[in-house]
C-alpha cells in the first residue's frame, strides 16, 4: 500500500504473488489476502494473463473525489469554528519539515494529519469516517504528484491560513479557504497527472 501510495509502484506495474512473497520473505497465503484487499479498494486489478497490476489513475474519478473531499473539509472547518476548536500549529511545523524532505510518505502523512485534526476539531465523527473512505486513493494521487511538485511549500501556506481562520473563529474565511484549498489541489493534481500520463 505504501509503495502504491508514494508512487514507487507506478500505475500499470505488474505484480505477482511469488515476487511479493519473496520480497517480504513470507508465504503466498498472506500475499494473496493482501492483494484481495488492495483489489477490493480498487488499487490493483487483474492483469491480462497472470497476476495483477497497479490500477491506472482515472482523472475524471479523481476530480470527483476531490469535489467530495472539498465539501467534507469545508464542513469540518465550519463546525470546528462553531465549536470553538483550535488547530495545533505544531502540525504545520511538522508538515513544513516534511515538505522540505525527499520523503514522499512523510509529506503525505503530515498532510493527512493536518486534515484529520480539522475533522476531529469539527466534533462530527461522520466527517472523518467519510473522508477516510477516500484517503487511501487521495494518498495515491498525492504520491504521484509530490514526487515532482514545486507546490509542497504552498500547500502548507494554505494549511496555515485555514488553521489561523479556525483559531480566530472566522467560519466564513475558514470555509472559503478550505474550498479554495481543495479546488486548487484538484486543479493542480489533474494538470500534473495529465502531464505525467501523456509522457
Neighbour tally for 112: CB within 10 Å: 16
Give the span between the Cα atoms of 154 and 161, in whole angstroms.
11
pLDDT of 199 above 60: no
CB-neighbour burial class of residue 178 (10 A; exposed 0-12, middle 13-18, buried 19+): buried
Using one digit for the tens of pLDDT, what is the confidence trace for 153-190?
788 999 999 999 999 999 999 999 999 999 988 888 88
Nearest to 79 by CA among 112, 116, 124: 124
Q: How confident is the model at residue 197 (pLDDT cuts 50, 70, 90)?
A: low
d(CA 181, CA 175): 10
Is pLDDT above 70 for 72?
Answer: yes
C-alpha cell at 21: 512473497
Q: What is the pLDDT of residues 105-148, one digit of tens each?
A: 899 899 999 999 999 999 999 999 999 888 888 888 887 677 66
Confidence of residue 36 (pLDDT cuts 50, 70, 90): very high
pTM: 0.82
* Helices assigned H by DSSP within 9-151: 17-24, 28-40, 59-83, 90-100, 104-122, 125-146
Amino acid at each position: 500500500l505504501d509503495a502504491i501510495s508514494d508512487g514507487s509502484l507506478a500505475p500499470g506495474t505488474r505484480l505477482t504473488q511469488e515476487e511479493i512473497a519473496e520480497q517480504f520473505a513470507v508465504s503466498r497465503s498472506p500475499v494473496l489476502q493482501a492483494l484481495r484487499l488492495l483489489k477490493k479498494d480498487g488499487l490493483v486489478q487483474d492483469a491480462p494473463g497472470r497476476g495483477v497490476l497497479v490500477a491506472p489513475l482515472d482523472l475524471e474519478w479523481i476530480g470527483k473525489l476531490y469535489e467530495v473531499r472539498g465539501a467534507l473539509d469545508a464542513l469540518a472547518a465550519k463546525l470546528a469554528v462553531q465549536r470553538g476548536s483550535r488547530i495545533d500549529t505544531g502540525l504545520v511545523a511538522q508538515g513544513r519539515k516534511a515538505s522540505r524532505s525527499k520523503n514522499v510518505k512523510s509529506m503525505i502523512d503530515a498532510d493527512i494529519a493536518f486534515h484529520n485534526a480539522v475533522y476531529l476539531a469539527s466534533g462530527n465523527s461522520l466527517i472523518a469516517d467519510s473522508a477516510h473512505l477516500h484517503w487511501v486513493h487521495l494518498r495515491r494521487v498525492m504520491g504521484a504528484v509530490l514526487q515532482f511538485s514545486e507546490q509542497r511549500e504552498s500547500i502548507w501556506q494554505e494549511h496555515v491560513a485555514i488553521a489561523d481562520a479556525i483559531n480566530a473563529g472566522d467560519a466564513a474565511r475558514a470555509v472559503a479557504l478550505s474550498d479554495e484549498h481543495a479546488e486548487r489541489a484538484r486543479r493542480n493534481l489533474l494538470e500534473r497527472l495529465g502531464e505525467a500520463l501523456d509522457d
